Structure 1
Amino acid sequence: MRRPALAALAMLIAFPPAAHAQDGAFSPPSDGRQGYWWYQAPPKPADDKPDPDALVKPAIPPMAELATWTPPKIRKLIEAQRDYAATVLTVDAVANFWKLEDFARRKARAFAGVTQIAMLQHPELNSRSANPMVGDARDQLLAQKDAVRRQYLRAHAGEFALVMFGRQTCGYCRVQWPIVQRFQDEMGWQVTLMDLDRRPDLGQRFGVEVTPTTMLIRRNSQQRMVIANGVEAYPNLIQTAYNAVRLLSGDIRPEQFLTGAGEEDGFFDALANGPVSSTDPRVIGGDLVNTGGRP
């Protein structure tokens, strides 16, 4: 049988007479198959996702409703109105943006006013109770804190010492060393200068990489603590040494390292109203253990 006859026979088998029109023309199968291979790719679904960059006029609610919105929701509306106004550049759109900004300003002002009332009723939450802004009172407070620090450091002069690690080629070391010597003169501590050019092994032993480095060391103990890297002003050196001695002596916890002299149990004491970390021994199984607010 010739190839045309074979092709015709294949067509008759594939398309029975019911699949042909009365006029003899070919009609596709009724089951939806179309095309040369009885297949047509389905149409792509329409993308119904809105364009995030499309220009949309924000709906600004009445002021009474806006007053009930949370700050994040208000901020989103302000940003949307800003972008809309910057795009259309009409007077009304720009004015609406600044009306929203004015609303946010007045809301912040109202919050500040209520905050001041709360601070007056709860002085323990107000820094002014522990840090007066009036000049004479502030000078008196600073003098009192300095006296407490000096008395405490002098009382521990026989227990601790300062070591400054430096180099002959370090210009900053020549600035820091007189400051450390002043600490010795006023606090009665022993201070020592270690030259890392002569003893490089000390840098590795104590983990010193930067000079000058001032380290506080507890006598007859492995306890030590860096209290200054580089040049440090004398008042700051006293404050850091004071807190370092209290920490190594167990008088404060690490969370209280920024608590100054005379600030215990006050506004600037991180643990004044209870623990703030899960590692605090007063926290057991997520519950606070009442220890009278003390470390």
Structure 2
Amino acid sequence: MAAAAIAALHAATAQAAAAQSSVAPGSIGAAASQTRQGYWWYQTPPKGEDPDPVAEPIRKPIVPPMTELATWTPPRIRKLIEAQRDYAATVLTVDAVADFWRLEDFARRKARAFAGVTQLAMLQHPELNSKSSNPMVGDARDQLSAYKDATRASYLRAHAGEFALVMFSRTSCGYCRVQWPIVQRFQDEIGWQVTLIDLDRRPELGNRFGVEMTPTTMIIRRSSQQRMVIASGVEAYPTLKQMAYQAVRLLTGDIRPEQFMTGPGQEGGFFDALANGPVAASDPEALGLAGLGSVPGGRP
């Protein structure tokens, strides 16, 4: 029986060899490539076809008469200027370069005309001009700065019992030694309580208030969870007072986040972002107006 089994094995081997020799070489490669495909098998991506070596023909842009060009929109004019510039830089002829500068001259005069009409519109609509809210004359600017400073100080003094300043520092922080006298000046002039916290001694407070760098100056509202960072690093006293003023107005609800850059006396004026209506799609007033559509009497 052993001899019969050996004979059968030899016969099977001969048949497999005959079958393998009858397979075409190309089909063997295809079968091998199919077995090699898998997640970890690297296959070189096929090379893309070479781009056409023939260069694209140079086309001269069509420059219309100025009367027609005056009816074009600025984006369309800009595209024509760029096309003429590329064409002129390619052919380098006097006529092509001159056409490019004629287009540039037209764009310059167009901008000049727009500026002229803008100045006229500002005279007829002073509410669109910042000069009434931000005078440029030296004496007037000094008076405006003094008024803003007095308004900030008065507002902050009125909230001295409701808020406090906390400055986080470290023993090894040289900048903290510069910032701390500035914070103390805030206490002397405004009357707020100021506190210095050394994070080397109280590291748990840094984690609690999310302080990652020193010095960090923060406003904290008493008997509340409200707080707000007003300075990260060294800040001058006027900047510190201005940021404290804006932060208190925001925390008390006197202003909205969109009005954070609105200064004293600027509410409802040129520098108030919400002076003429909502500016964001999430604004409650904007959401209400969205349902009006084209209803008669609705605001546009």
In which range does the TM-score fall when normalised by the shorter chain?
Answer: 0.7 to 0.9
How many Å separate the matches in 1 of 2:237 and 2:62? 60
Q: Which residue of 1 aligns with 2:258?
A: 255
Partner of 2:17: none
Q: Which residue of 2 aligns with 1:23?
A: none
Q: Aligned pair in 2 of structure 1 residues 208, 108: CA closer, same or farther (>3 Å)?
A: same
In structure 1, the gaps of 5 or more residues are: 1-48, 290-295
Q: Could you tell me the TM-score, scaled by structure 2's length?
A: 0.77
SS at match of 2:111: helix
Q: Kindly indicate whether residue 193 of structure 2 is the aligned counterpart of residue 190 of structure 1.
A: yes
Instruction: For residue 52 of structure 1, report the CA deviation from its aligned partner.
Output: 9.4
- 177 and 87 in structure 1: CA distance in 2 versus 1, 3 angstrom threshold: same
Alignment of 1:63-78 (within 5 A): 63-78=66-81
2:123 equivalent to 1:151: no
Report the AA paired with residue 268 of structure 2.
D
Pairwise CA distance, 1:284: 3.3
Alignment of 1:30-109 (within 5 A): 54-109=57-112
Q: Residues 251 and 139 from structure 1, CA distance in 2 versus in 1: closer, same or farther, beyond 3 angstroms? A: same
User: Counterpart of 1:270 in 2: which secondary structure?
Assistant: coil
Deviation at 1:186, TM superposition (A): 0.6
Corresponding residue of 1:122: 125
* Aligned partner letter, 1:55: I
CA deviation after TM superposition for structure 1 residue 288, in Å: 8.9
Structure in which a larger fraction of residues adopt helix: 2
**Equivalent pair of 1:149/1:238 in contact (CA under 8 Å):** yes
Residues 181-220 of structure 1 correspond to what in structure 2 (within 5 A)?
181-220=184-223
Deviations for 1:112-148, whole angstroms, at most 9, x for unmatched residues? 0000111111111111121011111111111111111
Cα distance in structure 2, aligned partners of 1:183 and 1:276: 35
Checking the alignment, whether the CA contact within 8 Å between 1:131 and 1:138 is kept in structure 2 is yes
**Residue range with higher mean Cα deviation, 118-127 or 60-69:** 118-127
- Supply the distance in 2 between the matched residues of 1:53 and 1:281 (Cα, whole angstroms): 55
Q: Identify which range, 277-286 or 53-62, moves more after superposition.
A: 277-286
**1: CA distance between counterparts of 2:84 and 2:282?**
46
What code does the residue aligned with 1:201 have?
A: E
In 2, the alpha carbon distance for the partners of 1:112 and 1:201 equals 58
Q: Superposed, which structure 2 residues align to 1:174-185 within 5 Å?
A: 174-185=177-188
> Helix, strand or coil for the counterpart of 1:60?
coil
Letter of the aligned partner of 1:179 in structure 2?
I
User: Is the CA contact 1:282–1:288 (under 8 Å) kept in the aligned structure 2?
Assistant: no
Other-structure match for 1:12: none
After the TM superposition, list the runs of 4 or more consecutive aligned residues in structure 1 that deviate by more than 4 angstroms: none
CA pair 184-99 structure 1, distance change in 2 beyond 3 A: same
Shift of 1:287: 3.8
Q: In the aligned structure 2, how far is the partner of 1:240 from the partner of 1:159?
A: 17
| AA aligned opposite 2:210 | G
1:224 is matched with which residue? Answer: 227
* Deviation at residue 111 of structure 1 after TM alignment: 0.3
Counterpart in the other structure of 1:8:
none
Q: Report the 3-state secondary structure (helix = DSSP H, G, I; strand = E; otherwise coil) of the residue aligned with 1:274.
A: coil
In the alignment, the residues of structure 2 paired with residue 254 and residue 52 of structure 1 have an alpha-carbon distance, to the nearest angstrom, of 56
CA distance in 2, matches of 1:188, 1:61: 71
Percent of paired sites with the same residue: 79
TM-score, normalised via structure 1 length: 0.78
> Which of 236, 240, 264 is the matching residue for 2:239?
236
Q: How many residue pairs align between the two structures?
A: 240
| 1:156-167 matches, cutoff 5 A | 156-167=159-170
| RMSD of equivalent CA atoms | 1.7
**CA distance in structure 2 between the partners assigned to 1:163 and 1:54 by the alignment:** 70
| Aligned-partner SS, 1:282 | helix
Give the letter for the 1:136 counterpart. D
Segments of 5+ residues of structure 2 without an aligned counterpart are: 1-51, 293-300
Indicate if the aligned counterparts of 1:149 and 1:242 stay in contact, CA closer than 8 A. Answer: yes
User: Are the structure 2 counterparts of residues 215 and 288 from structure 1 closer, same or farther at C-alpha, using a change threshold of 3 Å?
Assistant: farther
